[in-house]
């Protein structure tokens, strides 16, 4: 396989559709070996077949994990470590908005578990492998929804009057706080960590059957005016592959450019506290 990413191993979550699938396809076209993570075997297999066909790159593997389950994340990490002697890029992308509150098998509110704790746990379990593969990159998909977010340390489980958008904004702010704290901890290792807003993109986002019909249809209609998944994938692909961001870490990007982080993301005390709480919630201490 030829291309500027030939020989690189890229792990990407949420590769079964949307922005993740589009990014996986583009990176496959550039010759990378893609390890696509999906929770549903049928959707995962279809995505992998599509990516192989459209890229002409047969180097696309599928691993299954439901990222709402910490047990599944640990099994996924074990499989990745057993199968891939090097991991050059980890893209944490899988995420969702859930207007109805639900709780994972670990007893954690689903939005916080999937959108934030899964990034945190999978990254930490793969960190030594990323370090031994340096120069390596971690790319965390956040959102401009983070701008309205605050971290409610008193109620991370969203027990008190749950609000789906608030939970989503909080989780996307957590993505940036986590990325920045990770970047500080990774200084000098040759592993970088950056976060991004992909743009407003027409994907499966918000269309889960758990969400009310008005939201699903509202998003469908609004989708006519949104970016296509290939466009939404641009900044993921840029951060995963561009020589321009070699060595750059702890930054937030949109449209292939560094952008201002939400003010709430710049508080290092909050970032450290979130790290400690997340470590406790995932049994990493």
Where along the sequence are the contacts to ligand NAP (CB under 6 A)? 14, 16-20, 38-40, 43, 66-68, 93-96, 114, 141, 143, 197-198, 200-201, 203-205
Among candidate residues 81, 79, 265, the one with its CA nearest the CA of residue 274: 265
Shortest spacing between CB 229 and ligand NAP, in angstroms? 7
Closest residue to ligand NAP, judged by C-beta, is 18
Which residue in the block uniquely carries the two structure tokens 């010759």?
31
- End-to-end Cα, the chain, rounded Å: 41
Q: What would the DSSP string read from start to end of 154-214?
A: GGTT--SS--HHHHHHHHHHHHHHHHHHHHHHTTTTTEEEEEEE--SB-SSTT--TTS-HH
Shortest spacing between CB 76 and ligand NAP, in angstroms? 10
Shortest spacing between CB 132 and ligand NAP, in angstroms? 26
**Rounded CA separation 230/210 (Å):** 26
Which is nearer to ligand NAP, 43 or 101 (by Cβ)? 43
Which is nearer to ligand NAP, 117 or 271 (by Cβ)? 117
Which is nearer to ligand NAP, 133 or 211 (by Cβ)? 211
Which is nearer to ligand NAP, 140 or 241 (by Cβ)? 140
Which is nearer to ligand NAP, 76 or 133 (by Cβ)? 76
Angle between helices 18-29 and 234-241 (to 10 degrees): 50
Catalytic: which of 84, 119, 168, 238? 168
Q: What's the burial of 214, exposed, middle or buried (CB within 10 Å: 0-12/13-18/19+)?
A: exposed
Shortest spacing between CB 86 and ligand NAP, in angstroms? 24
The dihedral over CA atoms of 134, 184, 266, 196, expressed in degrees to the nearest 10, equals 10
Which is nearer to ligand NAP, 190 or 230 (by Cβ)? 230
Shortest spacing between CB 66 and ligand NAP, in angstroms? 5
Contact 92, 141 (CB under 8 A): yes
Alpha carbon distances (Å) from 276 to 105, 117, 181: 21, 12, 11
**Rounded CA separation 104/230 (Å):** 31
Active site residue 162: no
Element holding 22 (H helix, E strand): helix 18-29
Shortest spacing between CB 16 and ligand NAP, in angstroms? 4
Active site residues: 168
């Amino acid at each position: 396989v030829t291309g500027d990413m030939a020989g690189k191993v890229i792990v990407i979550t949420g590769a079964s559709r949307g922005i993740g699938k589009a990014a996986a396809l583009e990176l496959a076209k550039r010759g990378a070996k893609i390890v696509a993570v999906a929770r549903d075997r049928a959707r995962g297999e279809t995505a992998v077949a599509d990516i192989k066909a459209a890229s002409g790159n047969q180097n696309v593997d599928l691993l299954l994990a439901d990222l709402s389950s910490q047990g599944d994340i640990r099994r996924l990490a074990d499989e990745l470590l057993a199968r891939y002697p090097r991991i050059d890029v980890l893209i944490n992308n899988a995420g969702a908005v859930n207007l109805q509150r639900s709780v994972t098998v670990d007893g954690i509110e689903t939005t916080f578990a999937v959108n934030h704790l899964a990034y945190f746990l999978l990254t930490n379990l793969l960190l030594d492998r990323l370090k031994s593969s340096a120069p390596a990159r971690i790319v965390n998909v956040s959102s401009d929804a983070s701008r309205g977010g605050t971290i409610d340390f008193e109620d991370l489980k969203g027990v008190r009057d749950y609000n789906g958008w608030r939970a989503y904004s909080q989780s996307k702010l957590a993505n940036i706080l986590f990325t920045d704290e990770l970047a500080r901890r990774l200084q000098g290792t040759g592993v970088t960590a950056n976060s991004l807003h992909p743009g407003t993109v027409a994907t499966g986002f918000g269309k889960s059957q758990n969400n009310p019909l008005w939201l699903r249809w509202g998003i469908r209609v609004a989708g006519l005016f949104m970016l296509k998944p290939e466009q939404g994938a641009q900044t993921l692909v840029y951060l995963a592959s561009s020589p321009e961001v070699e060595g750059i870490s702890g930054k937030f990007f949109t449209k292939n450019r560094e952008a201002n982080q939400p003010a709430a993301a710049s508080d290092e005390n909050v970032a450290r506290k979130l790290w400690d709480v997340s470590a406790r919630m995932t049994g990493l201490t």
